[in-house]
Structure 1
């Protein structure tokens, strides 16, 4: 009977048992069951086969390769100073097939896609203020001001862009002195308009502030902008006169002077001059050499020029945005006043040359090989590049905000700008992530022609980032600036100490 025994295993088709590989990918095992049987495949107790060598119940097996987690390079830190985060793309990859569904990879082995990054320690900036100056009005309502500036460590001056705009203290404040009182100021009577016969005399009359007894300031007669402030009655500006009767029957008769053609500054006034007889009839017998002047220069008062949009608002009651003439340093310039309905209007310079000459750009293309500078640095759309720089943008400017006290452009004010694509880019700023080989592609342009202003010679541009190259070209008169900046990755901005400082031409 022993010779008839056979130790074998069952297969699914012929009655013996086996199994598939234990894994769907990678290395695994196959299992099988064994049984003691007669040669006719009748199963009996295992003890009858104990004298025979027992076959293996399992063996190694290999399935297809397993997908694994892969990750791209870490991106730039989210901050330029202090602690931030870095991100990277993590995906599931199968050799020979590329990226596959993430559920095919083991979630417990997934690589991290975010990590903390640390850059240079941040410099802290804050607003510093001076004491309030005296009220600019000796009576009635006025404005008092103080200097507000951005400072860094050790109270070193810095550009306003480095401080938080929303936390900026007010630099102007309304103030009220004692009520204003006005009085009529009369000039001396002029000579009689006729050397004989009936004539006229004139005098200058103006409504002016009365000196205040509570102020020790020297009083200067300053005409009021509105004669309604002065009490009634209005003193007469003309009166008739008669020096003597004319000995002859023909003389020059003159009328009263008209009002000055200008309400402020130099103008002209006129009067009627005619030759008449002693009976008042027209005549042609008067001596031309004795003809009185029919025109004369006049000046009611000096024109009042304000130094800020808020002064225009407070003194003239204007609440409409628009172009106004303001005294900037030693010149009168046309300045656009915005937000005139608010308590603190803002001053802007209208860029007369147009938006196409006033733009800022952060270029979006990046070279596959960042250590070369192809095409001698010229820009080509068919370059071996990726157009994926997340900070890219292109912004046009129609007006820029001007701090009248410091004559600095506030480059981050984008109220009158238009971003054509990408992210908004501050004024006078350019950058890219194109190349590390001194091959800048980001551009900015400034054109101040027609504004009466120019970029100050001590305005400099500074670099931020890695491998940054800065190329800035100035026109001889300082009205035009063109810059190309960039790196891997980097940009240029006006230096923090002076900012974008202007001068009056």
Structure 2
């Protein structure tokens, strides 16, 4: 409906009804004199309630006044500049939180039991507080709070009894050369089957063992020293670090592999056998010694008593002469 406003301009009058606020009349005057054919209506409306100004002791709530645009049977909140400020209604007021502010006991959480096994005590914080109108709390003297003060101590039972953790012997170190780990089994012997995990012994620890860093390394066997009959073979035997390859002296002497071994290539013919020396003097007279030919084998040939064989005597004449010289000296 339309009526002539005191401003002598055509005004829109809207009958606005809301269950929360009652019936209100809102008057708006268009700010734009040249409007489209599809005219919009701009009204002030009470859209919602604000929170109470206090938490206790009596406060008030106010309605939120918003500018609304009505178009095509729809309403939307828009900027307040579209509605006339002089027509803006005052917010409605309601009393709220009228209950008086009061003193009360404030209790904290119970702390841990004083002992982990058996009967103990646990405590908590209990204070008297006063509620301010803004909802905050302040500590005050206990005498202002009514009723008995809640207990600050109570009995408790510790269930984590420390009935000895039982640990087995440490296992062998996982590495016999350098760093490794060794392990053991740890079990709880408490009859309840519950032990304090904070006191549990470790089940795995680092370890270091260098007892087997060095080991004997061997080379390939050489060819047999003789093409027929008995002979010897040799190879290189060294004590070496298994990781770095460095030479050392920490290998077990009792586990040292042999450096020499006998070899055999069948029986020699008669011509060779004729050369067997029956007298050291005969060897000295019939063979001109030019020195040892096999310095590696000669010592072993002398120790194995092989100098009496002419073949060995020829290759190791110097060593064998020394051997027979000592032998004859001992006889005299």
TM-score of the superposition, structure 1-length normalised? Answer: 0.21
TM normalised by structure 2 equals 0.29
Greater Cα radius of gyration, structure 1 or 2: 2
Higher helix share: 2
